A and B are shown apart, each in its own frame.
Chain A
Amino acid sequence: MYNFKSGIAQIDQVTGGFEQGTNFLVLAPPMSLAEELAYSLTKPLPGEYAIVLSTNDRAAEVIDAFKVMDVDKRYVGTIDAITKSSTPGIADTTRLMFVASPTDLTGIGIKFSKMVELIFDGDFSDGESGLFPPPVRFCINSVSTLLMYRKLEVLYQFLHVLTSKVKKIDGIGFYLLNNESFDEKTISLVKQLMTGVIEVKIEQNTHYLCIMGIKGVSSEWQKFSVQKGQVVIGP
């Protein structure tokens, strides 16, 4: 059984990290370090791989964000749902794939499967290889954007498929959702697909997170910050 280290001592010391085949909702208001937190949890450790579906930032920005965290870019793939609308002729590469828009769930599903296939076939990292079977971290930044374009029922079904695929490949998934823009029904429906929730809040300019759904890990609110891609808990 492979455990994905979280970089958060409270999790890694108690459970050894996130269990393989699990999915976590990162529930956060805007401008709350949620993206930094999600990318930090998605950051591949040596031997691992990461796939980011970006509906907000261009692929180049995603790569930059991972560069800041000292990540070897050969182990990070990006599915970019932004760039193609302005650059129709842009071509896919092994680690950068483009879909027409965040509405294109067909394209998103295909590109995700393709990247996973390339990782499993050992064709992803310019001849370099990580662990086998490959531990894959997956992140959607963000589910909020997908919800703006798609009906909740449709997106629920689509996320159901994606989270199942993450389970099947023994990966781990992080799904960012803005909890201020959607009603309780929407949030609770998305939660049903998840193994756990990492919720973020800001009070008096201080960021707090609470982790729910991991046995043995406290679900108390804790102060946190993200420094160079590392989550730091505490003052």
Chain B
Amino acid sequence: MAKIFSPERTGGDRAMISTGINGIDDMLGGGIPKGSRVMYSMEPGVDGQLFMISTLFAALSKGLSCLVVLPHTTFDIFKHDAATKRGCTMEIFNKKVVFIDAIDRERIEKSSRTRKDVLKAWETKVKKLSKENAVEIAFIYVDLLYNDLGLEGTISIAEAAKTSGKTTVILEHLNLEGRSLIDRFIEKYSYDLIIAISSAFRSPPHFNYFTLMHTSWSNVPRRSVPFIVTEGRVVPYIPKIVVTGPSQAGKSTFVSNASDLGFSVDRQGSSGDPTTVAMDFGWLHWKDFEITVYGTPGQQRFDSVVPMLLSHAMGVVLLIDATKPSALERARHHVQLIREKRLPMVIAANKSDLPGTMSDSEIRKGLDLQKDVPLFFISATRKGDVRLVLESLVDYITQYTN
């Protein structure tokens, strides 16, 4: 097996390579450290090819020298398909990129007598091209190599591309073996990043998601995030964030200020202020995430609706009136509901710009909160405050391990 180099651990953006998917770069702390070994592990049938293609396009547009190994197809077909998937022209491939494709595979097989010869020919070819072109990232489609040469052979070919510690190797693999194969990549071959791409294949709606299975350079917890493919981009998608809390805490204002687009179903309450009677609904595109926000009604008579709105939520903002200690008991009921569903939760103490705001410890004690639950003092009338809460919740969702 070829010599194994370690990824650069210097940190900072200069040593990082973008995955081409902002939401994932953020989750990874800026991208992939140069010199890493990465695997995109695809479940059969899931449309996840855009992950590796996004990383390739990001590298090419940064002017990095790339090698693409495609034993299953020709580079003509690949270029066409990749450009179509990204919704762009093939001009990007005029940059620094070299290919080894299905025709090379055929030549290698014809000129080799034994499996050992085939492996050697692959290693030699990959190493030569990698060296001659000072390749910084090698993108390898593993599927057929694995079929022809087994896992050890495939890993050996991938290592042949690493002509220095700075060369990054990225594999895409159709994983027919499931978790056991991923574990081997982590434990036996010390891969630095493994992203599994899966689908919940069922009667509609079909549902794709990626899971950060492992990172060697940071403590990003394992977390699954749904994604959609739109306009040639992978977009992490938070299908449902719920904003709940006692009546008059400011939930409708929060949802309205969180959203690019939204509406509220409300009526005049007994106090003369509008009160939500069904739900608030908002949608926003933020930091490469598509997010849908639902606000629950706060009045006790609508309590039966709240658990339904919490179903399938990915995270919850519990909004309380920071100037109203008497409402904490009611909010504890919401905390209980959220805990029962084991959902990531952040607390937003609204109206904290008004006099008589409770302290952090008073709120935590009143709601029986652990220290690790994020608590923000905000005014829901300020968009910046609202976005800060959402930002924290998205981070919390993508890193939540419960």
Q: Could you tell me which A residues sit within 8 Å of B by CB distance? A: 84-85, 88-89, 91, 100-101, 103-106, 109-110, 112-114, 116-117, 120-121, 133, 150-151, 154, 157-158, 161-162, 165, 168-170
Are the C-beta atoms of B199 and A100 separated by less than 8 Å? Answer: no
Q: B94 an interface residue at 8 Å Cβ cutoff? A: no
List residues of chain B with CB within 8 A of the CB of A113: 45-47, 199, 201, 206
Q: B401 an interface residue at 8 Å Cβ cutoff? A: no
Are the C-beta atoms of B147 and A151 separated by less than 8 Å? Answer: yes
Give, as a whole number of angstroms, the nearest-CB distance from B198 to chain A.
12
Q: Which 3 residue pairs across A and B have the least CB separation, nearest first?
A: A100-B73, A157-B176, A109-B44
List residues of chain B with CB within 8 A of the CB of A162: 44
In the bound complex, what is the Cα–Cα distance between A165 and B37 (angstroms)?
Answer: 32
List residues of chain A with CB within 8 A of the CB of B74: 85, 88, 100
Give, as a whole number of angstroms, the nearest-CB distance from A136 to chain B.
11
Give, as a whole number of angstroms, the nearest-CB distance from A215 to chain B.
26
Are the C-beta atoms of A105 and B201 separated by less than 8 Å? Answer: no
Q: How many residue pairs, one in A and one in B, have C-beta atoms under 8 Å apart?
A: 80
Are the C-beta atoms of A154 and B49 separated by less than 8 Å? Answer: no
Give, as a whole number of angstroms, the nearest-CB distance from B205 to chain A.
8
Q: B121 an interface residue at 8 Å Cβ cutoff? A: no
Q: B80 an interface residue at 8 Å Cβ cutoff? A: yes
**Residue from A103, A158, A165 within 8 A of B201 (CB atoms):** A165
Give, as a whole number of angstroms, the nearest-CB distance from A80 to chain B.
13
Give, as a whole number of angstroms, the nearest-CB distance from B49 to chain A.
7
List residues of chain A with CB within 8 A of the CB of B147: 150-151, 154
Q: Given A88-B74, A104-B72, is A117 in contact with B206 using a C-beta cutoff of 8 Å?
A: yes
Are the C-beta atoms of B44 and A161 separated by less than 8 Å? Answer: yes
Q: Given A91-B84, A104-B73, A113-B199, is A120 in contact with B46 using a C-beta cutoff of 8 Å?
A: no
Are the C-beta atoms of A161 and B84 separated by less than 8 Å? Answer: no
Are the C-beta atoms of B80 and A105 separated by less than 8 Å? Answer: no
Give, as a whole number of angstroms, the nearest-CB distance from A158 to chain B.
6
> Mostly helix, strand, loop or mixed at chain B's interface?
mixed
Instruction: For B47, give the chain A residue with the smallest CB separation.
Output: A110
Can you name 17 A-B residue pairings with CB atoms under 8 Å?
A88-B77, A100-B77, A101-B72, A103-B102, A103-B144, A105-B44, A105-B143, A106-B72, A106-B141, A109-B44, A110-B45, A113-B199, A113-B206, A117-B204, A150-B147, A161-B176, A169-B202
Give, as a whole number of angstroms, the nearest-CB distance from B100 to chain A.
15
List residues of chain A with CB within 8 A of the CB of B144: 103
Q: B273 an interface residue at 8 Å Cβ cutoff? A: no
List residues of chain B with CB within 8 A of the CB of A116: 206
Q: In the complex, which residues 202-217 of chain B have their Cβ closer than 8 Å to any Cβ of chain A? A: 202-204, 206
In the bound complex, what is the Cα–Cα distance between A218 and B147 (angstroms)?
Answer: 40
**Residue from A91, A100, A114, A158 within 8 A of B176 (CB atoms):** A158
Are the C-beta atoms of A158 and B44 separated by less than 8 Å? Answer: yes
Give, as a whole number of angstroms, the nearest-CB distance from A114 to chain B.
7
Sample of 7 further A-B pairs with CB below 8 A, known A89-B80, A106-B49, A117-B204: A104-B73, A106-B44, A117-B206, A157-B176, A162-B44, A165-B201, A168-B202
Give, as a whole number of angstroms, the nearest-CB distance from B138 to chain A.
18
Q: B171 an interface residue at 8 Å Cβ cutoff? A: no
Are the C-beta atoms of A84 and B176 separated by less than 8 Å? Answer: no
Are the C-beta atoms of A110 and B204 separated by less than 8 Å? Answer: no
In the bound complex, what is the Cα–Cα distance between A133 and B202 (angstroms)?
Answer: 11
Give, as a whole number of angstroms, the nearest-CB distance from B372 to chain A.
39
Q: B132 an interface residue at 8 Å Cβ cutoff? A: no
Q: Given A89-B80, A106-B49, is A121 in contact with B204 using a C-beta cutoff of 8 Å?
A: yes
Are the C-beta atoms of A103 and B45 separated by less than 8 Å? Answer: no
**Residue from B49, B80, B84, B176 within 8 A of A110 (CB atoms):** B49
Q: Mark B100-118, 1 if CB is under 8 A from A, else 0.
A: 0010000000000000000
List residues of chain B with CB within 8 A of the CB of A157: 176-177
Q: B42 an interface residue at 8 Å Cβ cutoff? A: yes
Q: B174 an interface residue at 8 Å Cβ cutoff? A: yes
Q: B76 an interface residue at 8 Å Cβ cutoff? A: yes
Are the C-beta atoms of B174 and A106 separated by less than 8 Å? Answer: yes
Q: Mark B240-273, 1 if CB is under 8 A from A, else 0.
A: 0000000000000000000000000000000000
List residues of chain B with CB within 8 A of the CB of A169: 202-203
Give, as a whole number of angstroms, the nearest-CB distance from A64 to chain B.
25
Are the C-beta atoms of A168 and B201 separated by less than 8 Å? Answer: yes
List residues of chain A with CB within 8 A of the CB of B146: 154
**Residue from A85, A88, A150, A161 within 8 A of B45 (CB atoms):** A161
Give, as a whole number of angstroms, the nearest-CB distance from B397 to chain A.
26
List residues of chain B with CB within 8 A of the CB of A112: 45
In the bound complex, what is the Cα–Cα distance between A34 and B80 (angstroms)?
Answer: 35
In the bound complex, what is the Cα–Cα distance between A112 and B49 (angstroms)?
Answer: 14
List residues of chain B with CB within 8 A of the CB of A89: 80
In the bound complex, what is the Cα–Cα distance between A161 and B199 (angstroms)?
Answer: 12
List residues of chain B with CB within 8 A of the CB of A170: 203
**Residue from B47, B73, B199, B203 within 8 A of A133 (CB atoms):** B203
List residues of chain A with CB within 8 A of the CB of B73: 100-101, 104
List residues of chain B with CB within 8 A of the CB of A154: 146-147, 176
Q: Mark B183-194, 1 if CB is under 8 A from A, else 0.
A: 000000000000
**Residue from B46, B72, B199 within 8 A of A103 (CB atoms):** B72
List residues of chain A with CB within 8 A of the CB of B78: 100
Are the C-beta atoms of A110 and B203 separated by less than 8 Å? Answer: no
Give, as a whole number of angstroms, the nearest-CB distance from B81 to chain A.
8
Q: In the complex, which residues 258-310 of chain B have their Cβ closer than 8 Å to any Cβ of chain A? A: none
